[in-house]
Amino acid sequence: MFTSLSRPLSRRSRNFLNGFVSGALIVVLLNLLAIHLRSDAGISALIGGCYDCTLRAGFPWLVLESGGFVNRSHFDPQALFHDVLVGVGIWIACGFLAAQFLDDGPDVDEAQLWEDSLD
């Protein structure tokens, strides 16, 4: 029933997965950079290093603005939805680009390698 789970991934699938995970890492780093550049205290506002500073989060749209002297808070769910769409689009684009342009070496018959590994 689950025979496809026990087979190794093809080279193209491995490249797609590597690009997909790399795209996720890029999105996380872009969000951390946006927090650092938009917030009053930089990245320390994220971990609570400044009590009267404003934390602003979200890339490319501002999703959360919280803190400040009067402790104002604003969350925008529509911006979060669009940020998630952009993020998933970046993940998938990086996956497709990696699957298309990365090459791990000479072509090998992976089905034959799989049969040889079972012997």
Structural domain boundaries, residue 72? 12-103
In a domain, 5, yes or no: no
User: Rounded to whole angstroms, what are the CA distances from 51 to 36, 40, 44, 47, 72?
Assistant: 16, 11, 10, 10, 12
Give the helix ranges, DSSP H, for 39-54. none
The residues of the chain scoring below 50 in pLDDT are: 1
Q: In this predicted structure, what is the pLDDT of residue 106?
A: 55
Q: How many domains is the chain partitioned into structurally?
A: 1
In a domain, 112, yes or no: no
Q: In this predicted structure, what is the pLDDT of residue 21?
A: 93
